[in-house]
Amino acid sequence: MTPRRFPAACPLATAFLIGASAPAAVAPPPTNYDESKVSSYTLPDPLMCMDGTRVADPATWRGKRRPEILELFSKYEYGRMPAPPVGVRFDPPRIDPAALGGKAIRKQIRIHFFGQSGEPSMDLLVYIPKNHVGPTPAFIGLNFYGNHSIHSDPGIDLNTNWMRDNKEFGVVNNRATETSRGVRSSRWPVERILARGYAVATAYYGDIAPDFFDDFKSGVFPVWQKSGDGTRASDAPGAITAWAWGLSRAMDYLQTDPDIDAKHIAVMGHSRLGKTALWAGANDERFAIVISNDSGCGGADLHRRDFGEQIRHITRAFPHWFCPAFSTYVDRESELPLDQHMLIALMAPRPVYVASAEQDRWADPKGEFLAAKAADPVYRMLGTDGLPATEMPAINAPVAGTIGYHIRDGKHDVTDYDWDRYMDFADRHWHQNR
Ligand code: GCU
């Protein structure tokens, strides 16, 4: 079992350090992988308001504590979520009614965030089961290497935006090539998802904001900052907020698509995009199910558990992901007025699923489970069954109530096993509504 380490065994972190303006790393911050060295901590009570009022009913949660928690995450971790754009515009979908050998309807839609053609836009790829009857429930998630990377389907547009170089994936001079088609198909079992009656939608996260520190000079940031004086406020949005905002724009489109059942859309994300899925689900309650796959630090993992990646690592390697205030909490986790169980609780009472991988110690599987568990009181107070587990379950033994959790064997990745569990979870929560 080889834990991902910072930065040597963590090539992505290394890559971004090179692109980042953070000071050159002298010695990496220490990383604890010894359970016996995790010191005790007290989590903030998600059902206790800042003024000491106890939340004992849904109305107080909805009207007082939930907005308070959302504000805490906006102020101290991810930055403030910008309002939906006024003029979002969708190009007419380009449709292949018989894609994937006749198994799917493929749609590609360019979403102009701000209505203007010269400003950033995002290309959404949607596959709908060919023989669907009526509007179809869907999974949506951002991808790391362009829509063309999720399947070898030659009809998918090759993304032309900046992408991190990857020889194995055919990304050369920061641009995708024909060789890049389908390189990430193992994480997107499209036919498997379609066969279960779900549509699948995805977009490249780099269409929204680049995943390197360039002082917020590209993607949606320049447009957001147009009205400001150029200085970055302590709660200015970072890239995770930008990507989550992009997911909401995809949702804006999906709500207009007659083939999609927009009331049954699950947002799923892996790793940094799992952090993004959680933040998207917290801000945008149109996402009916929220799924975090191996999201780790800044995602489902508890900050107060000093195991694997911590704020001291993440804010140094990825200074562009969070708001400036977050880095002031390096080694001061216990002073944060929030922890990640409160982020998970923001999904309540919607179903939420947290998944870990056994070898993914950098993401701290136990911390991810404990965060899901600590969100349980909010789910129960709202009248749902929360997470029906007192102990962390065994490997490959999923538990599911309105909160679901599993730890599977293997490494940091998205596998068919993970997808099968997410579809089981969606079936269970949605079948009576469909
Ligand atoms: C790095 C980073 C993690 C992140 C992961 C990923 O390992 O430290 O926080 O989740 O990259 O997105 O793949």
CB 264 within 8 A of CB 138: yes
Residue 257 pLDDT grade (very low, low, confident, very high; cuts 50, 70, 90): very high
Of ligand 1's listed atoms, the one at least distance from the Cα of 297 is: 9
Dump strand ranges (E) for 159-280: 199-204, 260-270
What is the average per-residue pLDDT within 308-331? 98
In a domain, 400, yes or no: yes
Probe ligand 1: pick from 2, 12, 211, max atoms within 8 Å of CB? 12
Question: Which among 271, 292, 295, 356 is annotated as catalytic?
Answer: 271
The least confident of 12-16, 91-95, 219-223, 337-341 is 12-16
Residue 267, domain extent: 44-155+183-430
Residue 11 lies in a domain: no
Residues lining ligand 1, Cβ inside 6 A: 4, 10, 12-13, 271-272, 296-297, 309, 314, 317, 362
Q: Which two tokens stand for residue 428?
A: 């269970």
Within a domain: 4: no
Q: What pLDDT digit, counting tens, does each position of 149-158 carry?
A: 999 999 999 9
Among 142, 302, 309, 312, which is best to mutate for testing ligand 1, by the most ligand atoms less than 8 A from CB?
Answer: 309
pLDDT value of position 431: 83
CATH number at residue 73: 3.40.50.1820
Domain assignment of residue 170, yes or no? no
Residue 414: inside a domain: yes
- Coil/strand/helix, residue 246: helix
Mean pLDDT of 326-347: 98
**Tokens 């999906």, residue located:** 254
| pLDDT confidence tier of residue 434, bands split at 50, 70 and 90 | very low
Q: How far apart are CA 56 and CA 53, in angstroms?
A: 9
Q: What is the DSSP letter of 366?
A: H
pLDDT of 433 above 70: no
What pLDDT, in 10s, does the model give residues 38-72?
A: 999 999 999 999 999 999 999 999 999 999 999 99
- What does the pLDDT read at residue 27? 84
* Gap from CA of 19 to ligand 1 centroid (Å): 15
Residue 23 within any structural domain of the chain = no
Per-residue tokens: 433: 């509504």
List the one residue out of 390, 403, 310, 370 whose CA is nearest residue 43.
370
| pLDDT of residue 119 exceeding 50 | yes
Q: Which of 132, 270, 303, 412 is catalytic?
A: 412
The total number of structural domains in the chain stands at 1
Q: Do 134 and 118 meet the contact criterion of CB atoms below 8 Å apart?
A: no
Residues 6+ away with beta carbon under 8 Å from 161:
146, 204, 206, 207
Asked whether residue 39 is domain-assigned, the answer is no
- The verdict on residue 128 lying in a domain is yes
Question: How does pLDDT run across 196-254, given as a tens digit for each residue?
Answer: 999 999 999 999 999 999 999 999 999 998 766 768 999 999 999 999 999 999 999 99
> Is 271 an annotated catalytic residue?
yes
Q: What is the pLDDT of residue 28?
A: 83
Going by DSSP bridges, is the β-strand pair 89-90/104-112 parallel, antiparallel, or unpaired?
antiparallel
Give the mean pLDDT of 126-139: 96
